[in-house]
């Protein structure tokens, strides 16, 4: 009996030591990635200015001056350096994480080409599928269990492959679509990375946790410049593609691991719902925009200013106010679902999620009506603009108009 107690003590001590080591590794990875991004971005900005590699203002652009758009290079470099700097503590996911870096590298080069000269959307989707297939087939990463949602439990192999591939493509492009204003895509991705990374760390999946916190650190370093007035840079398609791909990887692995460990106290029996909530803003915004375009008889891929961040900007909010609102909504929903997930069933969780999407649609409709009202009542628009000028929310160049 004493021997059994001694063995149990050693196992508990070893688990504590591994967790402490994993925690330190995550913190160091976060800090190194942040440092690399902060150090490398000024160099990228300088080269972009010298070679005139700048994104010019346009009708659908939210900036007014030419701005460098290769922040994704710094994010990619920060992830590689910070992640591969340390040996892996656990071997459970080391092969999958290495494959995710391979898939991310494919999208990195596609993103650079897209930022430089543009790329055909069909080719971009094909390369996204290729990056996903690497993880699906070589890493055996698939969503093959739906936790009883819609009465579905286990999926056959063909359906699980198609579903997983769709998740990668959808999330990768969802992040790309919300990358329209300062800090939004980076802020949403930082929140998601920290939440996923925290769960991976608490469940002793240290390699996944390290990669998630590495991405979060790289994004914090990038956001320092994305919000800057004197040395601004955008992540570009290079950044949004690799970030979307990595978040899709974290989401699928999160659902996958909760399937394997669904009887553990740290597991979520409604993991797919939680994964959607963590990425609620890009998912809801993409669904809403596609639905509105289809109902208007247009292609869902046609360009317009119908994203929620465009609507908030057109309601005279600033970039930082819009970003804080949408990131706040994302964080609040994530915290609430994490706190309440054990008290609600999958069916109820899905109903709540559908209800939230309905509220999202209603709010966007009200805000669009307000934009239309202000545009058709110039005196009201003038009064609103005057108040906002007094509050410092609108540029002083509008003084002549008022």
Q: Locate 27 and state its tokens.
A: 């913190």
User: Does residue 396 register a pLDDT over 60?
Assistant: no
Q: Report yes or no on 58 lying in a domain.
A: yes
| Of the candidates 244, 222, 224, the residue with the CA atom closest to the CA atom of residue 235 | 222
Q: Are 131 and 258 in contact (CB under 8 A)?
A: no
Q: Which helix (H) or strand (E) holds 68?
A: strand 67-68
**Average pLDDT of the residues of the chain:** 85
Give the pLDDT mean for 112-132: 93
Under the banding of pLDDT at 50, 70 and 90, the label for residue 15 is: low
Give the pLDDT mean for 185-202: 95
Looking at residue 6, what is its pLDDT? 40
pLDDT tens digits, 349-389 = 888 899 999 999 999 999 988 888 777 765 555 555 555 55
Count of residues making up the chain: 402
User: Does residue 398 register a pLDDT over 50?
Assistant: no
What counts of helices (H) and strands (E) characterise the chain? 14, 2
Q: Report yes or no on 122 lying in a domain.
A: yes
Give the pLDDT mean for 77-92: 88
What is the DSSP-derived secondary structure letter of residue 264? S
Q: Output 115-121 pairs: Cβ under 8 A, ≥24 positions apart.
A: 115/69, 115/70, 115/72, 115/236, 115/237, 115/238, 116/53, 121/301
Q: Report yes or no on 197 lying in a domain.
A: yes
Residue 54 pairs in a beta bridge with 68
Q: How far is CA 96 from CA 22, 248, 297, 319, in A?
A: 18, 13, 42, 37
Looking at residue 169, what is its pLDDT? 96
Looking at residue 321, what is its pLDDT? 92
Give the pLDDT mean for 56-75: 76
User: Does residue 5 register a pLDDT over 60?
Assistant: no
Q: Are 101 and 80 in contact (CB under 8 A)?
A: yes
Give the pLDDT mean for 60-75: 79
Looking at residue 53, what is its pLDDT? 82
Q: Compute the distance between CA of residue 398 and CA of residue 286 in angstroms, rounded to an integer.
A: 33
User: Does residue 150 register a pLDDT over 90?
Assistant: no
| Count of domains for the chain | 1
Q: Report yes or no on 383 lying in a domain.
A: no
Q: Report yes or no on 124 lying in a domain.
A: yes
Looking at residue 16, what is its pLDDT? 63
User: Residues of the chain with pLDDT > 90: what percent?
Assistant: 55
Give the pLDDT mean for 151-161: 88
Q: Locate 136 and state its tokens.
A: 């699906």
| Of the candidates 93, 333, 341, 339, the residue with the CA atom closest to the CA atom of residue 201 | 93
Q: Report yes or no on 99 lying in a domain.
A: yes
Q: Compute the distance between CA of residue 77 and CA of residue 116 in angstroms, rounded to an integer.
A: 18
Q: Can you tell me whether residue 54 is helix, strand or coil?
A: strand
Q: Compute the distance between CA of residue 82 and CA of residue 31 in angstroms, rounded to an integer.
A: 8
User: Does residue 1 register a pLDDT over 50?
Assistant: no
Domain holding 146, by residue range, is 2-270
Under the banding of pLDDT at 50, 70 and 90, the label for residue 399 is: very low
Q: Mark 251-285 as b/e (b = at least 16 C-beta within 10 Å).
A: bbbbbbbbbeeeeeeeebbbbbbbbbbbbbbbbbb
Q: Compute the distance between CA of residue 225 and CA of residue 50 in angstroms, rounded to an integer.
A: 18
DSSP secondary structure string for all residues of 112-165: HHHHHT---HHHHHHHHHHHHHIIIIIS-----B-TTGGG--B--HHHHHHHHH
Q: Report yes or no on 369 lying in a domain.
A: no
Under the banding of pLDDT at 50, 70 and 90, the label for residue 92 is: confident
pLDDT tens digits, 296-336 = 888 787 777 888 998 998 888 888 999 999 999 999 999 99
Q: Report yes or no on 119 lying in a domain.
A: yes
């Amino acid at each position: 009996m004493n021997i059994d107690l001694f063995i149990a003590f050693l196992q508990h001590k070893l688990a504590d030591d591994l967790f402490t080591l994993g925690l330190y590794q995550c913190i160091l990875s976060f800090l190194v990635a942040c440092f690399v991004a902060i150090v490398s971005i000024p160099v990228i900005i300088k080269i972009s200015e010298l070679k005139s590699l700048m994104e010019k203002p346009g009708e659908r652009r939210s900036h007014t001056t030419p701005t460098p758009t290769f922040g994704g290079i710094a994010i990619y470099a920060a992830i590689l350096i910070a992640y591969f700097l340390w040996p892996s503590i656990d071997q459970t996911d080391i092969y999958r994480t290495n494959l995710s870096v391979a898939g991310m590298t494919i999208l990195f080069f596609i993103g650079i080409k897209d930022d430089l000269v543009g790329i055909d959307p069909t080719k971009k989707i094909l390369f996204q599928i290729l990056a996903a297939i690497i993880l699906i087939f070589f890493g055996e990463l698939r969503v093959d269990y739906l936790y009883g949602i819609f009465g579905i439990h286990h999926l056959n192999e063909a359906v699980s492959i198609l579903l997983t591939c769709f998740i990668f493509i959808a999330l990768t492009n969802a992040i790309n679509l919300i990358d329209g204003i300062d800090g939004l895509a980076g802020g949403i991705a930082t929140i998601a990375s920290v939440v996923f990374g925290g769960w991976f760390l608490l469940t002793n999946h240290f390699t996944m946790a390290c990669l998630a916190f590495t991405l979060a650190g790289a994004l914090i370093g990038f956001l320092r410049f994305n919000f800057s007035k004197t040395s601004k840079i955008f992540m570009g398609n290079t950044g949004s593609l690799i970030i979307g791909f990595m978040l899709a990887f974290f989401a699928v692995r999160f659902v996958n691991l909760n399937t394997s460990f669904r009887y553990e106290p740290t597991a979520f029996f409604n993991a797919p719902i939680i994964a959607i909530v963590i990425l609620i803003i890009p998912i809801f915004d993409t669904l809403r925009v596609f639905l509105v375009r289809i109902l208007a008889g247009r292609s869902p891929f046609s360009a317009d200013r119908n994203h929620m961040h465009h609507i908030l900007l057109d309601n005279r909010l600033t970039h930082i106010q819009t970003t804080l609102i949408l990131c706040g909504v994302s964080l609040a929903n994530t915290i609430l679902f994490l706190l309440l997930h054990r008290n609600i069933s999958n069916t109820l969780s899905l109903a709540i999620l559908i209800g939230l999407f309905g509220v999202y649609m209603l709010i966007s409709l009200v805000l669009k009506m307000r934009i239309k009202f202000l545009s058709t009542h110039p005196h009201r628009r003038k009064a609103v603009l005057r108040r906002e000028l007094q509050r410092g929310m609108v540029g002083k160049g509008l003084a002549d108009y008022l």
